[in-house]
């Protein structure tokens, strides 16, 4: 019998993250599972060829991490105040790779994520995160299309 003791939920703090978090939390409650809440700060080193000094990139990275920590705390307070078994993780790197890496390192049995996240230029530049995770993850992935969910 397959058991789901730890569920990884990647979030980008977009409006969709709230919907996915609620689905993941409901599933975790039903299964008696813990949650790993993952946020990945995109690795900006790919843009180092752009005319800017290293200090500018270091300051930007620091600002991104501080923002991610603030968003994560606010997100936890809003969506998980009634669910104590949540481990927040913020990492830097390639989003798809880091989601899978953090899920594996934390012993996740399932990844629950949205089929849609940030839109616009981010999606064009970075591609579909959900598609990459589904394609490369050795851990089963449950995707939820937040735009197709019927409200009860």
Residues found in the chain: 152
Residues 6+ apart with CB under 8 A from 33: 4, 5, 6, 7, 27, 85, 109, 110
- Secondary structure of residue 35 in the 3-state scheme: strand
CA max distance for the chain: 55
Summarize pLDDT for 73-95 with one digit per residue, the tens: 999 999 999 998 999 999 999 99
What CATH superfamily is the domain 6-144? HUPs (3.40.50.620)
Q: List the chain domain ranges.
A: 6-144
State residue 125's pLDDT score.
46
Confidence (pTM): 0.86
**H or E segment at 7?**
strand 6-10
């Amino acid at each position: 019998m397959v058991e789901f003791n730890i569920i990884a939920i990647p979030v980008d703090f977009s409006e969709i993250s709230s919907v996915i978090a609620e689905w993941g939390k409901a599933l975790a409650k039903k299964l008696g599972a813990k949650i790993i809440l993952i946020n990945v700060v995109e690795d900006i080193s790919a843009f180092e060829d752009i005319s800017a000094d290293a200090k500018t990139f270091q300051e930007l990275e620091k600002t991104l991490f501080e923002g991610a920590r603030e968003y994560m705390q606010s997100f936890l307070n809003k969506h998980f105040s009634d669910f104590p078994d949540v481990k927040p993780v913020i990492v830097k790197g390639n989003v798809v790779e880091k989601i899978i890496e953090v899920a594996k390192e934390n012993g996740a049995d399932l990844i629950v994520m949205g089929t849609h996240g940030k839109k616009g230029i981010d999606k064009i530049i970075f591609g579909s995160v959900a598609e990459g995770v589904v394609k490369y993850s050795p851990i089963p992935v449950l995707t939820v299309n937040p735009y197709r969910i019927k409200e009860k």
